[in-house]
Amino acid sequence: MQQKWTIITAGAIVGILAIVLVILGNPANMGFCIACFLRDIAGGLGLHTNATVQYIRPEIIGLVLGAFGAAIVTREFRSLGGSSALTRFVLGFIAMIGMLVFLGCPLRAILRLAGGDLNALVGILGLIAGVALGLPFLRKGF
């Protein structure tokens, strides 16, 4: 029961933070989007020249440092590697392209749906299909 409330509380906090980020100036249909923020950081580092998306996002820096700090405090931090590093990189690249074509990560898809954008259903269905396709590979140790 405790875990259920932890998940609900975390979801509420993320939702509230997304609203706050929109109020503070993030695009109205975005709020909080990992894929978009990584794209912006790539531009901020000079990896592309589209001026509208060239910004070192403090949200990503805070997310990484916060997750690292929480893992250290709870003594859950451990560095893990997996098989087929190149294959994992290529699949991650394909996933990122898919997110940018769809205009958002899974979190943004939920935020878009919450804002009434029914196009988000297509992205969520694609996410479900991708997870269903990839889960057997993960279970086999890939």
Per-residue pLDDT reduced to its tens digit, 108-140: 888 888 888 888 898 889 889 988 998 998 888
Give SS3 for 3.
helix
Whether residue 59 contacts residue 31, with contact meaning beta carbons closer than 8 Å, is answered with no
pLDDT at 36: 82
For the purposes of burial, counting CB atoms within 10 Å of the CB of 33, is it exposed (0-12), middle (13-18) or buried (19 or more)? buried
More confident residue, 33 or 72: 72
Place of tokens 């990992």: 34
